[in-house]
Structure 1
Amino acid sequence: MNYTRKRALLACDFCRHRKRRCDGKKPCSTCRDSNADCVYKELPFDRVEDSSPTAVIDRLARIENLLEHQSQQINHLSTRSSPLSYPTSQADYFATYQQPSEYLPSTSAAIDPQLDSPQFLIPKNHATLPITLLSLPMVRDLIGEYPRDYFFEIEEKLPLPGLLGKLYDSPLVWPSIDADTLDVLSENYFRNVHPHHPLFTPAMFKAWQDELIQEKGMEEIGTAICFCVYALGTICSNTAGDYDNDEALGIQFFQPALRIILHKLVWEFRPSINLCQALLLAASYFAHLGRPLHSWKMAQFSSRMFLGLLESRQRYIASAEFEEAELRTFWQCFTVECDRIAELDVPRSGIEPLGDRMRLPHSTDPSDNENTIYFIAEHAIRRLLNRIHNSLYGPEIAQTSPIHVLPTGPNQAWQSLNMQKLQALSAELNRQLEEWYFSIPDYLRPVKGTLPLPNDRARVLRIRYYAARHIIHRPFLLQMVSRQCEEQSPASTSVLSPDSYSESTVFLERCETCIDSCVTYLYNAIEMIDRRSPYLWTFSQSCLACLIMLWMADNTPALHHYLPHMQPIQNMLLTKLRKWAIKDSTFAAEIHIIEQLVFSDPMEA
């Protein structure tokens, strides 16, 4: 379905300042009605693209404003009155004062569902979790019953490796301080880990390291930051799934760092941005181990401390001045927490609603320009993913659903839409995804598909793109699978009435897009889960979801011919997951599920 652009590519200064819809005329209708001067900045698309860091960041900021304005269009396409009207989710959010939205958040009030500008927060009990696919009748009949908190229970029971499981069983032991070794480890960190979350500059780190080497304030938070950096520098060079070797995992550095961090967290009474940073480094370390709950816990501590830091200032967000370290800390908290909410539906800290009102960071170091741009681009698509979760996969509100899909499966918001509205909503979300993709500067924009890319940051953006594209189009594939299961069931009384949309070319194209997105996602993510990164567990879960979707399509006659030969892809994924599959881990559970998915061979068919 095609949409005609109803808004200018670039709003005038007056509309942009007041966050109003601009029609692009000269003067625009808003300026004409307000008797204001209508002034436009020069459009960058009519000349050679300015690739300077400031221009690129401004450009990404403009796409953020554009996506924000498009929330009204999504609300219009949806049948719901407000994306926040989920009764089960309110207790988990800390919200704004019932005053203008630029106020800092209270950590005690509940979100007002009647806010004038509804936010696209990931709803509680959303149905995008990979585990929800296991409850679908077709999958459940093959692999059996799995509770919604299955992966959560696995992770909370899994003991920590090595000395981390005995954090307070012995006196604090400091690792040996060898300047040359530490330089190598810090170089590893800034080359492999820092680009994923550029919390501070190398110069800032060097100041902390100099104090450590001179043995100044050994149990200060700067020491903990240094030890986290060394631990991450060690673990990112350990490509094998070695859980038994403390030195290979850098635990000799991380154990004292964690003790310092937890001591400061409990007994310091003023919020500290450096402690927030140390907690985020600890979250990254646990993510590299493939421990999502421990990673989330550290990030949530950081989020809550950051909220305390904001509240202590008693300022308006719109007029507050934030240092770059604070902005980077906020956005890292935001992204990590949203990832965990999307994967495990964990409790919220209250950081998520501020994503609409905090400004984006800028580069403070020429060597960090590209990292900053990648960082902003990933934040932008994380916000778009939140919109998709909210618009399509929140708990269904309608008492009866016009689309009788998955009658014994999880309720989902898209089921309360008729097929025309679902197609319009998915088309709008997909358009926003393409807007995001083309907002990335040409020289950093990852090419679509599976061609090799120069670095992990480009790979992550491409993986995020296909993750969003998959879940935008997932409802169409689920609808087709459900319909054909009903038709093939001998006991069926044809609960589903004939639906011309499921037989239309457009409907089948949406299913094909979902299949293509899942296949391309797998090829890209399999490369990433071959080594440790902060995305190790996240990508393994999404690979499981994609493979289940493809298995259902493979067993649906109308969709089977869209799939490639799946056996090599399945085998590659199993090989990578076995690398990390210690006993009773999520990785081992994923392997057990994937091994039960038997794909047909299209050559034989």
Structure 2
Amino acid sequence: MNYTRKRALLACDFCRHRKRRCDGKQPCSTCREASADCVYKELPTDRIEPSSSSQGAVVERLSRIEALLEEQGQKLSEMSLTAYYGSTPASLHSFRSSPLIPAASPASVSNRSQEGDDTSLENTQFLIPRGHTTTLIWLLSLPAVRSVIGDFPENYFHELEENSPLPRPLDLVQPMPLDWPSLEPGLLRKLSNAYFENVSPHLPLFTRQYYEALLEDFMANGPTEDIESAICLCVCALGCISSHSTEASGHLTDCAEDLGLRLFQPALRVILSKTVWGFGSSIQICQALVLAGTYFSYMGRPLHSWKMVYYAGHKFLQLVNDRSSPDQPDQYDESYLRAFWCCFIAECDRVAELDVVRSGIEPLSDKVPLPRNVEASDHDDLIYFVAETAIRRLINRIHSSLYSPDNVDIMVLAESAPAPNNPGLNNILTISSELNRQLEQHYNSIPVQPHIMVDPGSNDRRRILNFRYHHARHLIYRLFVLYIVLQPQQQPSPIPLASSSRSPTPQQGLYPLPRIILEKCHVCIQSGEALLHAAADILDKRSPYLWSVFDVSASCLIVLFLASRSPYLRHLTPDIDALASLVVPKMRKWATPGSSLESELRIVDMLLASRYR
């Protein structure tokens, strides 16, 4: 893959026009040699630049956004203190998520008056940026990785998934009459119960009471080509696949696999028909699309999952536009709130992993309130869901603040010396420290006992929150590891067969690095190790996070591989073989032939094998 050099952090007009490397001096060496006028344009205010007012403004915005996490923490606390599940306190009914930019504190206003108004930052949201650099395929483009495994096109995993055929019952290109499954009421009940036990905790799309009304009508009148029947069939299909969650596709019992597909096939046809040829929208269509996307997630099919959620986002936006007062979020009832946030989390996960097209619902997260608890049956599930919503939004801010090509170009930054006064590094240090503080504050506010970090594996929802915590922390500090491993004066060296001793200092004879940089690298590596331990637990069985956890694990193993090749970081790196023996067998279980999962696993195997060549 050819790497396209991006602009330097600071360049004069002459160098920018001729696409030359600018050293940032006055005049720069290029202008001096060409006897040209060396003129620097005023930097745009929405860039994170060293020694500019925008750095302080971005940090200030991160601080002010913290109020959102505080309000969500208060919401969670109120929910946990609800003594009577049968009714919802008025404070919960009146809850609204705060705007993304709450009112500034007096101190921040004072600082802002010194810096001047920055309306572009004020109006900019922390969304996952297009072309961000946290994807697995971006890591594969790094020279140290390419030298081992070769070049991969930017759309490699996308094309693998696009060209991988669906199971025949789900290949709906050829028209055929709907084949309704014959189901006994007892089986419908059993599969519905499995859905609410295994799937709904991750996806509280609707309450049990809401679904029961649909199911009663479905059993009384039989299936029809309407969206309500499709919802019931999707719920039962998800109940089926989640009941056999420890078995990989191709290893499911014929009966279980056939039943799940027979349930999902007619539902998918109805959903696609209503989506493509239905020119209106309804909350039921959004719900059905989210359910279909979740089924594909359980199958480990990220593109098909994204497509369903993408359609759901479009349908939700259509609902918003059709409302008489779209800017009045308090008019949304519970079904709208749950559908929006389920769609939001699913789409953000796919955008972060595959950098796919957005539906446009992400900015609505500032206006749409969080779900409210209305039933005892899903009270705890909703607490975990609101907590996951908050951490997903914080991870979006990590992407926006640290991995946007417009803010930080780590390839360019790595060309600079790792000196204590390096302005680019100081920028990243400032932003990452603030993001980490927000992360810790959020997790400390989750009102579940015991604390998530004390007992992360007691149920599936705690495992997911634990995984997302370590993933966020790993991303916050990953740039420091990449900065070190991309240093031009550093050459990869063979890895000793003995496991790392994790001594506190690197080997002798190296250019000294600022201690704080090594400390941040250590935090990233430790978080990566904890992430893989958490991933191993989640990958024990099928879940809607299957592809996401697999992909993040592969990326994390690559970062640890790069760290183990660096003479600066090798002493901080854990025993990668031991970590691989823990998580790779779990990954191999789901790497079905021809899938992107199989390709990612093959890449990981190649990197691990190269350590001893």
Q: TM-score, normalised to structure 2's length?
A: 0.76
* Aligned-partner residue type, residue 158 of structure 1: S
Q: 1:540 maps to which residue?
A: 550
Shift of 1:220: 1.8
Gaps of 5+ in 2: 1-55, 69-73, 494-509
CA separation of 1:501 and 1:82: change in aligned 2, threshold 3 A: farther
**Does 1:327 pair with 2:334?**
no
What is the CA–CA distance in structure 1 between the aligned matches of 2:432 and 2:353, rounded to whole Å?
A: 21
Shift in CA distance, 44/310, structure 1 to aligned 2, threshold 3 Å = closer
Which residue among 242, 247, 256 is the counterpart of 1:248? 256
Q: CA deviation at 1:169?
A: 5.0
Letter in 2 for 1:471: L
Give the equivalent residue in structure 2 for 1:196: 202
* Corresponding residue SS for 2:413: coil
> Shift of the alpha carbon at 1:335?
1.0
After TM superposition, give the deviation of residue 270 of structure 1 in Å. 2.2
- What does the per-residue CA deviation read over 1:582-604, in whole Å, with 9 as the maximum and x for residues that have no partner? 22211110121111123899xx9
Quick check: 1:461 aligned with 2:465? Answer: yes
Residue aligning to 1:364: 374
Counterpart of 1:418 in 2: which secondary structure?
helix
**SS of match in other structure, 2:607:** coil
Match of 1:443 among 441, 445, 449: 449
Structure 1 residue 303 displacement after superposition: 0.6
Q: Please, which of 468, 475, 478 is the counterpart of residue 471 of structure 1?
A: 475
Distance 1:213 1:318, change over 3 A: closer
**CA–CA distance in 2 between the matches of 1:45 and 1:226?**
30
Q: Is the 8 A contact 2:249 2:299 kept in 1?
A: no
* Superposed CA offset, 1:250-293 (max 9, x none): 00100011111112223333211011101100000000000001
* Aligned counterparts of 1:403 and 1:56: Cα–Cα separation in 2: 52
Matches of 2:231 and 2:75, distance apart in 1: 41
Matching residue within 482, 487, 507 for 2:486: 482
- Tell me which amino acid in the other structure corresponds to 1:357: K
d(CA) in 2 for partners of 1:267 and 1:516?
A: 50
Aligned length: 515
Distance 1:445 1:272, change over 3 A: farther
Q: Offset at 1:443? A: 1.9
Indicate how the Cα distance of structure 1 residues 57 and 168 shifts in structure 2: closer, same or farther if over 3 A, else same. farther
2:430 aligns with one of 424, 438, 459: 424
Question: How far apart, CA to CA, are the structure 2 residues paired with 1:389 and 1:82?
Answer: 25
* C-alpha distance in structure 2 between counterparts of 1:175 and 1:207, whole Å: 20
C-alpha displacement at 1:62, in angstroms? 9.5
- Per-residue Cα deviation, 1:46-97 (whole angstroms, up to 9, x for no partner): 99x94658799979x7996698668998xx99xx9999xxxxxxxxxxxxxx
Give the conservation status (yes or no) of the 8 Å contact 1:466–1:521: yes
The alpha-carbon deviation at position 579 of structure 1 amounts to 1.6
- Contact kept, 8 Å, 1:227 with 1:253, in 2: the verdict is yes
Query: Is the contact between residue 515 and residue 562 of structure 1 (CA under 8 Å) also seen in structure 2?
Result: yes
Which residue of structure 1 aligns with residue 241 of structure 2? 235
Structure 1 residue 115, shift from structure 2 partner: 7.4
For 2:599 and 2:443, how far apart are their aligned partners in 1? 34
SS at match of 1:558: coil
Residue 417 of structure 1: how far off its partner (Å): 5.7
Contact 1:175 1:252 in 2 (8 A): yes
The equivalent residue for 1:413 is none
2:574 is equivalent to residue 571 of structure 1: no
| Partner Cα separation in structure 2 for residue 153 and residue 57 of structure 1 | 49
1:175 to 172, 181, 185: 181
Select which of 404, 416, 429 maps to 2:414. Answer: 404
1:167–1:259 CA contact under 8 A, matched in 2: no
- CA offsets per residue over residues 102-136 of structure 1, 9 Å max, x none? xxxxxxxxxxx947431111111111111111111
How far, CA to CA, are the matches of 2:89 and 2:129 in structure 1? 34
CA contact (8 A) 1:234 1:248 kept: yes
Change (3 A) 1:595 1:395: same
Q: Offset of 1:446 from its aligned partner?
A: 1.1
Mapping 1:272-311, distance limit 5 Å: 272-311=282-321
Contact 2:283/2:336, CA 8 A, preserved across alignment: yes
SS of the counterpart of 2:344? Answer: helix
Corresponding residue number in structure 2 for 1:529: 539
For residue 524 of structure 1, give the secondary structure of its aligned residue in structure 2.
Answer: helix
Point out which structure has higher relative CO (alpha carbons under 8 A, 6+ apart). Answer: 2
1:164 and 2:174 correspond: no
Amino acid paired to 2:551: Q
The equivalent of 2:383 in structure 1 is 373
Give 1:29's aligned residue.
Answer: none
Cross-structure match for 1:101: none
Inter-CA distance 402–348: structure 2 relative to 1 (3 Å threshold): closer
Superposition RMSD on alpha carbons, in Å? 3.9
Q: What whole-Å deviation, never above 9, does each CA across 1:458-478 have from its counterpart, x for those lacking one?
A: 111111111110010001111
Q: Structure 1 residues 264, 435: closer, same or farther in 2, change over 3 A?
A: same
Q: Is the 8 A contact 2:564 2:570 kept in 1?
A: yes
Q: What SS is found at the alignment partner of 1:223?
A: helix
Q: Is the 8 A contact 1:430 1:469 kept in 2?
A: yes
Structure 1: 5+ residue stretches without partners: 12-18, 23-42, 84-112, 408-415, 491-499
Share of identical aligned residues, percent?
41
Query: Residue 373 of structure 2 contacts residue 379 of structure 2 at CA under 8 Å; is this kept in 1?
Result: yes
Cα deviation for residue 165 of structure 1 reads 2.2
Shift of 1:309: 0.5
Alignment-derived partner of residue 19 in structure 2: none
